[in-house]
Amino acid sequence: MGAVRPDEKNSEGSPNVDPQAEENESPVHEVTLTPFFLSKYEMTQGQWQRFTGRNPSFYGPDREFGGNQHSLLHPMELVSWEDCQKVLDHLGLVFPTEAQWEYAARASTTTVWWTGDKEETLQGA
């Protein structure tokens, strides 16, 4: 985990080397994860409503945005971290750790972005 800017010891294109790395992203260190589950999708508004009895989402099923009608299948938004934590606790679930999230999001890649080392590789991804 972590990242460093390229220098004489860390060449661009090497694992954990990112030209935009911030000071607080170092030192690079190894993390060992135990098996974990991570949902493939965000919690939907319908799921949140079923679990809590309410839907505080701004982009709820009564809204249209960008010519698209929203529905309870859209992701939940406008809820606090604390509220999410309460719902997850009630369901016997937890937020992923930073290490779990990075591992899952990177899909075993070692490049700056999961699509490659250049920002242009994100286009169309």
Query: In this structure, what is the dihedral angle of CA atoms 98, 27, 25, 4, given to the nearest 10 degrees?
Result: -130
Pull the structure tokens for residue 98. Answer: 């930073």
pLDDT digits (tens, 9 = 90+) for 10-36: 888 888 888 889 999 889 889 999 999
Confidence of residue 109 (pLDDT cuts 50, 70, 90): confident
**What distances in angstroms separate CA 117 from CA 6, 109, 111, one per listed residue?**
12, 10, 5
pLDDT digits (tens, 9 = 90+) for 41-76: 999 999 999 999 999 999 999 899 889 899 999 999
